[in-house]
Homo-oligomer: A and B are copies of this chain.
Amino acid sequence: MIITSLNNEHIKEINKLKEKKYRDITNTFLIEGEHLIKEALLEGLVKELIAVDKLDFNYDGNITYVTSNVMKKLSSMESPPKIMAVVYKKEERETGNKVLILEDIQDPGNLGTIIRSSLAFGVDTLVLSPKTVDLYNPKVIRATKGMIFHLNIIVRDLEPFIESLKKEKYQIFGTKVDGGRDIRKVTIPSKYAIIMGNEGQGMSEKLSKLCDENIYIKISNQVESLNVAVASSIILYEVYNNESNQNR
């Protein structure tokens, strides 16, 4: 059966997942396009597929077939995909030893890009402040290129969370545009957390006080700062290479 009506009850339920409220209640969210779906399938997170055409890959779960018109209603994109999915949010795992903390990042593209780089450079756990842009925003998900399904990502009140890490002997690194030590000259221990601040304001004073050390990236004095996703990625890249050198 192909659902043709925009007023179909099942379609209306799925469409509600565009709102954060319903994503939180159901613990599920929507993804669009085959690439993301294949990444979600790898982790067993697909609840249901919504497709316009017959699948050209193996899948033995629930499928709802719909018309292009229905797909257009469900999609967040100007050119709707041929396939979407309702997927479960990944369950939280225990916090690993390599932690990246984001304080109030606002741009969905930045968050998605940081998720992609975090996995590329061996971060175990990504921690988001409650005011960070919603992780399940379609633009965030697209920018992760599917890496959202493979990384342990948690939302926490940052002050008490960092306090608890300190008790467990994590070394806490803050980031500042100037001040602190050049990232190339810092030795990162095996248990660490790195804090990246908001796009406009940088890291807050209250978190700054909790840091053992501040680090920065040397740039030309013509430029005030780097994009936060770029700065995060360069720091993670340095730490990752630092570790590989030590392990040799």
- Chain A residues proximal to chain B, CB less than 8 Å: 109, 113, 116-117, 119-122, 143, 145, 147, 150, 184, 217-220, 222-227, 229-230, 233-234, 237, 240-241, 244
Q: Which residues of B contact A237 (CB under 8 A)?
A: 217, 234
Q: How far is the CB of A176 from chain B (nearest CB, A)?
A: 15
Cross-chain contact A120 with B226 (CB below 8 angstroms): yes
Instruction: Tell me which of B116, B121, B217, B226 contacts A116 (CB under 8 A).
Output: B226
Q: How far is the CB of A229 from chain B (nearest CB, A)?
A: 6
Q: Which residues of B contact A229 (CB under 8 A)?
A: 113, 227, 229-230
Can you name the residue of chain B whose Cβ is closest to the Cβ of A237?
Answer: B234
Docked pose: A234 CA to B229 CA in angstroms: 11
Docked pose: A184 CA to B219 CA in angstroms: 18
Cross-chain contact A223 with B116 (CB below 8 angstroms): yes
Cross-chain contact B150 with A222 (CB below 8 angstroms): yes
Instruction: Point out which of A122, A143, A234 has the most chain B C-beta atoms below 10 A from its C-beta.
Output: A234
Cross-chain contact B143 with A227 (CB below 8 angstroms): yes
Q: Which residues of B contact A234 (CB under 8 A)?
A: 233-234, 237
Docked pose: A122 CA to B244 CA in angstroms: 28
Cross-chain contact B224 with A119 (CB below 8 angstroms): no
Cross-chain contact B227 with A241 (CB below 8 angstroms): no
Q: Which residues of B contact A109 (CB under 8 A)?
A: 109
Cross-chain contact B230 with A117 (CB below 8 angstroms): yes
Docked pose: A145 CA to B150 CA in angstroms: 32
Instruction: Tell me which of B117, B219, B225, B233 contacts A121 (CB under 8 A).
Output: B219
Q: Which residues of B contact A119 (CB under 8 A)?
A: 220, 222-223
Can you name the residue of chain B whose Cβ is closest to the Cβ of A147?
Answer: B223
